[in-house]
Amino acid sequence: MALVGVTTLLTLPEAADRLRKSPAQLRWMLHNGSAPRSAKIGGRRMFRESDINDYINQAFEQSAA
């Protein structure tokens, strides 16, 4: 599967900052399966910016329902 366009990748600390969580909290979310989608790339946990944005949008949609 090829990437279309430019994909911005975020490290775990950067993703945690976007979610207003500490890196430890985001690691716990990964452990219990409640974190946004991520992948290990080059031995580092990376998050696509679009997945972080989707995660935030879903949280707002669920709270509005």
What's the chain look like in SS3?
A: CCCCCCCCEEEHHHHHHHCCCCHHHHHHHHHHCCCCCCEEECCEEEEEHHHHHHHHHHHHHHHHC
Q: Give the Cα-Cα-Cα angle 12, 17, 44 (nearest 5 degrees).
A: 10
Domains of the chain: 9-64 (1.10.1660.10)
pTM of the model: 0.85
9: DSSP letter? E
Task: State pLDDT tens for residues 2-30.
Answer: 666 778 999 999 999 999 999 999 999 99
Q: What is the DSSP letter of 35?
A: S
